[in-house]
Amino acid sequence: MKKNNRFLTIGISVVAAAALVLAGTTPSNAAGKKLSSIRIAVVIKGLDNPYFVSVKQGIIDTAKKLGVVANVQAAPGLNDDIGQANKLDALAGQNYDCYIVIPITSNNLSQGLGKVTKAGKPIINIDSPVDPASLKAAGGKITSFAGTDNTAAGKAGGVSMLKLIGSGKKIGLIAGLAGNVTSNARIAGFEAGAAGSTFVGPVNADWDTTKALDAANAMLVANPDIAAFFAANDQMAQGVAKAVAAAGKKIPVYGVDGLMDNLNLIKAGSVTASISQYPYVMGKMGVEACVVLAQGGKVPAWTITPYGVIDSSNVDAALKSGNQTPPGGYKDPYAPLIKK
Amino acid sequence: MKLSPKSSTSSAQAGEVETSTLNKVRLATKDPFFWSNWIVVIAFILVVLVFGALKPHSFLTMYNLNNILVASSIPAIIVVGQTFAVATAGIDLSISSIMTFGAVVYGIAFTNGSSWWVAGIAGTIAGTLCGFLNGLIIAKRKISDFIVTLGMLSVAAGFALVISNGVPRQIVSNSLSNLAIGGFGGIPYLMVIAFVITVAAHFFLFNTRFGTHILATGGDPDAARSMGVNIDLVKIVVYSISGTLAGFAAMLTISRIGAAEPAANTSLLLNSVAAVVLGGVSLFGGRGTIFGPFVATLLLQALTNGLTVVGVAAYYQYVSIGLVVILSAALVRTK
Amino acid sequence: MMTNNPEYAIEVIDIQKSFGSVAALRGVSLFAKPGEVTAIVGDNGAGKSTLIKCIAGVYTADAGEIHIAGKKVHFTTPEESREFGIETVYQTLGLIEDLTIWQNLFLNREKMKCIGPFKILNKKAMRLESAQMLKNLDVYIPSIKGRVRGLSGGQRQAVAICRAAGWGSKVVIMDEPTAALGVRETAKVEDLISRMKEQGLAILLISHNFDQVLRLADQVWVMRQGNVMAGMRAKDTSGDELVALITGASAGKK
């Protein structure tokens, strides 16, 4: 199958899934609202990571295009769970029509979301899922979830890696913040996709480039026969690539996120591939879902956003387009539901 | 100074001369220490007024003021510990890690069958132990507070990761969550707890013998020692208090975010130092108040909240908060 | 030889102290009478500071005895020496700038009152008594509620001296009390010292200022290289003689 068709296949699966799940929709605000009067509150993770900057861009662009107002707030740092909870609390009491959230941990926003649900407002959870148990205990309800299947994304990476280096080789694993759901899913998926290999780690590098550099260095010293590295996000993959270069080796390094910096590195050859998860699309869909709900419509309970492996074979096209949306298009279940 | 001549009439002039109230006020406003206390209160009122004017229906609601109080509670407890440390001319850089360590101990105790409050005692004691170690090493080994607590910052964080295996433990307890959500007649429980701790700390520092010794140790350790103040004991107690409060705050954090997270939260540390400085506590020790940093904590949280409600982008928020701290410190111009 | 004389407020007999191989005190004997200023003079390294610290309890002598009012005493810490009525005013004064005057006067001797099971500071009592302490020595400070930071050098010296004198002390040791003061403030402190004499305190004064010594002191001891070279009444000696004894140009007389 040609590489571009990969995205089409995924896109079609998304439509199929959405169609299947359309039954599980949730009611939103009774009266439909005019586009210009719709106000959306957004609380996402720290903006010191380009991934979430891309989410923010998708939100802002889409809000602008549709003519709605979006207040995007982010926690001061990637692991300030209390700070993020404070931000949601501050916005929960304001009269926004809809709330989009990406929680830092699976639990930290649950109490705030409970307040949002009590106020009768819909919640769109994107990218990282909120833990259902704590959410239920707080009386909260997610109207719709839109995110990548991190396990599937990791698996795609694993499969691609296996094709590249062959079976039975040693692969170093660099994970994100300890215990983080996204990181765990990506790592687990990768291990499944690259089954038959020996895995070193995973070692936690907290999503940080320098920590990943140090971790990879240590791994290379302890295991000189490492044949490849997988990092749970692109910023860490950058650090790993530096460690590999410093050790004078030429082994494949895979990351996740599809950041522009990493695409440039793929072109240059120091990073091998990135599993792109199109955060821009997630932001876009979040806004669209909110608009549909504010207009009194219904949305599917969950949507899998597109992902794909970008390597030297398709990096040029991705670079040209800014890699905000997958080449070859994708299916957006929310857009057609928006009343003009 | 007037040392009166050796005549019998001189004794009438000697000793204390009571000044009139007006003189007292005049004297007070000349004392830079006075301003460093009150500038925080003035700034806080200003912030409330400004944001109240900008968004009267959003910022000045009971709901939102409630948010500010809840958001301030845990930092307010941490800042009490930091104030004690700074009062002895020290600093506690390890509080955020000690809190994380306490949280992890809480998580282990809870998931092994302890009730929500017994686990809280376990977490608090874990904090006390860390703080005691800090104080002991600082006092007996004569290593600077900065270095010892910096080391503990890493050690406690590392231990938290080790014993938790890097995995967060979910804590599902209605009683515990209620602590974060409920309140007494409009005032959130968390803030009531924070306020009680603040009042107790004020009383301890300014109305007990040991409190005076704490201030003396910070003001001039050599002079204090020469008068028989037990400097070592002061350091040990002060850092134990700081560690205990951090361990206790762990339980309160868990009540808000629903899980014992092994990842440390460093913004808590930075905010505590900012609040201490803003609150008029001298970093050189010996001088300060407990209520100054308390109001400063409210101020910082109100500022963050106000900026969020108004819709200022996150980047500008960091700048604004930094500016407030620098401006306040510059305006007061105390050491 | 002088031994065990109850007339002496304090008497030290054959005090020896070494630090490693360095013998700082090689058998020092001297006394001070109550109601008198007893000066100890000597060059740097003569052992004055070491002797003072042995008397104050900061050091413990290797050998020798200390007698207070004729009774032999033993102590190993400054707190213990205080119990025998020995107080010291150090050159650095030992005042805490950011604390108030009354807080400084009562440092580590705070007055408490009981509220239920708790003991809290009795600030009112301490303030009243502070005012009285200053009054007793005719020291004028605008407000004992003020912080030490706001006092001049001379005022601080006065507060430190009041603290030393005000605790039922018998012996007050002063190490260069006017070294850092100007002419007028020096005069005031000397007045204060005279008043302390009137109250029956024994004052041990270390000073390099021979004019001051001859002006204030009743008894003078000269030390040199860990020994007492001479002891005499101040009126019986002169500046030149003191210099000669300190430098060793002339032999001692006791």
Interchain contact, B267 vs A76, CB within 8 Å: yes
B18 DSSP assignment: P
pLDDT digits (tens, 9 = 90+) for C19-78: 988 989 999 999 999 999 999 999 888 889 899 989 988 888 999 999 998 889 988 888
Interchain contact, A178 vs B67, CB within 8 Å: no
% chain B with pLDDT above 90? 52
Mean pLDDT along residues B63-67? 87
C227-233 and C219-224 as β-strands: parallel, antiparallel, unpaired? Answer: antiparallel
Interchain contact, A93 vs B168, CB within 8 Å: no
Task: Give chain C's end-to-end CA distance (angstroms, integer).
Answer: 10
**Can you tell me the distance from the alpha carbon of C205 to that of C175, in angstroms, rounded to the nearest whole number?**
6
Residue A43 lies in a domain: yes
**B267–chain A Cβ distance below 8 A for any pair:** yes
In chain B, which residue's Cα lies nearest the Cα of A69? B311
User: Closest partner residue to A86 among B71, B164, B263, by Cβ?
Assistant: B71
**C92–chain B Cβ distance below 8 A for any pair:** yes
What three-state secondary structure class fits B334? Answer: coil
Give all strands (DSSP E) within chain B, no chain letters. Answer: 169-170, 183-184, 187-188, 259-260
pLDDT category, B335, cuts 50, 70, 90?
very low
Read off the tokens for C182: 């100007």
**Can you tell me the distance from the alpha carbon of C68 to that of C49, in angstroms, rounded to the nearest whole number?**
20
For residue B44, give how far its alpha carbon lies from the nearest alpha carbon of chain A (Å): 18
**Can you tell me the distance from the alpha carbon of B43 to that of A80, in angstroms, rounded to the nearest whole number?**
26
Q: Are residues A116 and A184 in the same domain?
A: no
pLDDT digits (tens, 9 = 90+) for B164-187: 887 788 888 888 988 888 888 889
**C96–chain B Cβ distance below 8 A for any pair:** yes
For residue A132, give how far its alpha carbon lies from the nearest alpha carbon of chain B (Å): 12
To which residue do tokens 């895995």 refer?
A: A199
Interchain contact, C92 vs B227, CB within 8 Å: no
Number of domains into which chain C is organized: 1
Question: Given this model, what pLDDT does residue C3 score?
Answer: 61
Contacts of C195 in chain B (CB under 8 A): 6
pLDDT category, C4, cuts 50, 70, 90?
low
Contacts of A79 in chain B (CB under 8 A): 263-265
**B230–chain C Cβ distance below 8 A for any pair:** no
User: Closest partner residue to B318 among A76, A131, A206, by Cβ?
Assistant: A76
Contacts of B2 in chain C (CB under 8 A): 140
For residue A119, give how far its alpha carbon lies from the nearest alpha carbon of chain B (Å): 12
Of A34-43, B305-314, C58-67, C111-120, least confident by mean pLDDT is B305-314
Residue C119 lies in a domain: no
**Can you tell me the distance from the alpha carbon of C149 to that of A249, in angstroms, rounded to the nearest whole number?**
66
Q: What is the CATH number of the domain that holds B53?
A: 1.10.3470
**B58–chain A Cβ distance below 8 A for any pair:** yes
Domain housing A43: 3-148+278-306+327-337
**Can you tell me the distance from the alpha carbon of C10 to that of C34, in angstroms, rounded to the nearest whole number?**
8
Yes or no: say if B96 and B268 are a contact pair by the CB < 8 Å rule: yes
Residue B143 lies in a domain: yes
Of A16-20, A336-340, B74-78, B191-195, least confident by mean pLDDT is A16-20
Mean pLDDT along residues C175-197? 87
Number of domains into which chain A is organized: 2
Residue A261 lies in a domain: yes
Read off the tokens for A9: 């296949």
Residue B9 lies in a domain: no
Contacts of A111 in chain B (CB under 8 A): 177, 180-181, 256-258
Residue C125 lies in a domain: no
Cβ-proximal residues to B255 (8 Å cutoff; 6+ apart), any chain: B176, B177, B179, B180, B190
Q: What is the CATH number of the domain that holds C60?
A: 3.40.50.300
For residue B313, give how far its alpha carbon lies from the nearest alpha carbon of chain A (Å): 7
* Residue whose C-alpha is closest to residue C65's, from C77, C55, C50: C55
Residue C5 has pLDDT above 90, yes or no: no
CA distances from B169 to A45, A78, A243, C125 (A): 21, 19, 33, 55
Q: Are residues A174 and A271 in the same domain?
A: yes
In B, residues 285-304, which contact C (CB 8 Å cutoff)? 286-287
In C, residues 113-132, which contact B (CB 8 Å cutoff)? 119-121, 127, 130-132
Yes or no: say if C229 and C217 are a contact pair by the CB < 8 Å rule: no
Residue B29 lies in a domain: no
**B209–chain C Cβ distance below 8 A for any pair:** yes
User: Closest partner residue to B170 among A82, A134, A204, by Cβ?
Assistant: A134
**Can you tell me the distance from the alpha carbon of C205 to that of C172, in angstroms, rounded to the nearest whole number?**
8
User: Closest partner residue to B257 among A95, A105, A114, by Cβ?
Assistant: A105
Mean pLDDT along residues C241-249? 86
Yes or no: say if C212 and C179 are a contact pair by the CB < 8 Å rule: no
Interchain contact, A105 vs B315, CB within 8 Å: no
Question: Given this model, what pLDDT does residue B116 score?
Answer: 93
Question: Given this model, what pLDDT does residue A332 score?
Answer: 87
Q: What is the CATH number of the domain that holds A228?
A: 3.40.50.2300
Interchain contact, B17 vs C142, CB within 8 Å: yes
Higher per-residue confidence, A18 vs B141: B141
Q: Are residues A38 and A49 in the same domain?
A: yes
Question: Given this model, what pLDDT does residue A255 score?
Answer: 95
CA dihedral A280, A282, A285, A290 (to 10 degrees): -110
User: Closest partner residue to B223 among C92, C188, C194, by Cβ?
Assistant: C92
DSSP string, B87-108: HTT---TTHHHHHHHHHHHHHH
User: Closest partner residue to B228 among C108, C138, C144, by Cβ?
Assistant: C108
Amino acid at B86: V
Question: Given this model, what pLDDT does residue B9 score?
Answer: 42
Chains in contact with A, counting 3 or more C-beta pairs less than 8 Å apart as contact: B
Residue B107 lies in a domain: yes
Residue B176 lies in a domain: yes
Question: Given this model, what pLDDT does residue B20 score?
Answer: 65
Cβ contacts below 8 Å, chain B against chain C, sum to 112
pLDDT by position in tens, chain A (length 340): 444 445 554 444 454 444 434 433 333 344 577 888 899 999 998 887 888 889 999 999 999 999 999 999 988 776 788 889 999 999 998 889 999 999 988 889 999 999 999 999 999 999 888 989 889 988 999 999 998 888 999 999 999 999 999 999 999 999 998 777 788 899 999 999 999 999 998 998 989 899 999 999 989 988 999 999 999 999 999 999 999 998 899 999 999 988 888 999 999 989 999 999 889 999 999 999 999 999 888 899 888 888 889 998 888 888 887 888 887 778 888 888 888 7
User: Closest partner residue to B177 among A95, A108, A137, by Cβ?
Assistant: A137
**B207–chain A Cβ distance below 8 A for any pair:** no
Domain housing B68: 34-332
Interchain contact, C97 vs B212, CB within 8 Å: no
Q: Are residues A300 and A203 in the same domain?
A: no
Question: Given this model, what pLDDT does residue B1 score?
Answer: 37
Yes or no: say if B87 and B288 are a contact pair by the CB < 8 Å rule: yes
Chains in contact with C, counting 3 or more C-beta pairs less than 8 Å apart as contact: B
Residue B132 lies in a domain: yes
Read off the tokens for C12: 């030290």
Interchain contact, B15 vs C140, CB within 8 Å: yes
**C158–chain B Cβ distance below 8 A for any pair:** yes
In chain B, which residue's Cα lies nearest the Cα of C193? B3
**C24–chain B Cβ distance below 8 A for any pair:** no
Question: Given this model, what pLDDT does residue B320 score?
Answer: 80
Question: Given this model, what pLDDT does residue B11 score?
Answer: 41
Interchain contact, C121 vs B16, CB within 8 Å: no
**C107–chain B Cβ distance below 8 A for any pair:** yes
Residue A244 lies in a domain: yes
Domain housing C193: 10-94+170-247
Question: Given this model, what pLDDT does residue B2 score?
Answer: 38
DSSP string, B70-88: HHHHHHHHHHHHHHHHHHT
pLDDT category, B244, cuts 50, 70, 90?
very high
Residue B139 has pLDDT above 80, yes or no: yes
ipTM of the complex: 0.83
Interchain contact, B286 vs C98, CB within 8 Å: yes
Interchain contact, C96 vs B13, CB within 8 Å: no
- Which of the residues B154, B159, B308, B320 would you substitute to probe the A interface, choosing the one with the greatest number of A C-beta atoms within 10 Å? B308
Residue B193 lies in a domain: yes
Q: Are residues A119 and A161 in the same domain?
A: no
Number of domains into which chain B is organized: 1
In B, residues 228-257, which contact A (CB 8 Å cutoff)? 253, 256-257
* Residue whose C-alpha is closest to residue A238's, from A211, A219, A200: A211
Chains in contact with B, counting 3 or more C-beta pairs less than 8 Å apart as contact: A, C
pLDDT digits (tens, 9 = 90+) for B293-304: 999 999 999 988
In C, residues 3-22, which contact B (CB 8 Å cutoff)? none
**Can you tell me the distance from the alpha carbon of B306 to that of A244, in angstroms, rounded to the nearest whole number?**
46
Read off the tokens for A111: 């109490």
C202-206 and C37-42 as β-strands: parallel, antiparallel, unpaired? Answer: parallel
**Can you tell me the distance from the alpha carbon of B243 to that of B85, in angstroms, rounded to the nearest whole number?**
10
**B12–chain C Cβ distance below 8 A for any pair:** no
Interchain contact, B11 vs C120, CB within 8 Å: no
Interchain contact, C139 vs B14, CB within 8 Å: yes
Interchain contact, B71 vs A106, CB within 8 Å: no
In chain A, which residue's Cα lies nearest the Cα of B96? A80
**B72–chain A Cβ distance below 8 A for any pair:** no
Q: Are residues A21 and A92 in the same domain?
A: yes
- Crossing angle of helices B266-278 and B62-87, in 10° steps, is 80
Yes or no: say if B114 and B97 are a contact pair by the CB < 8 Å rule: no
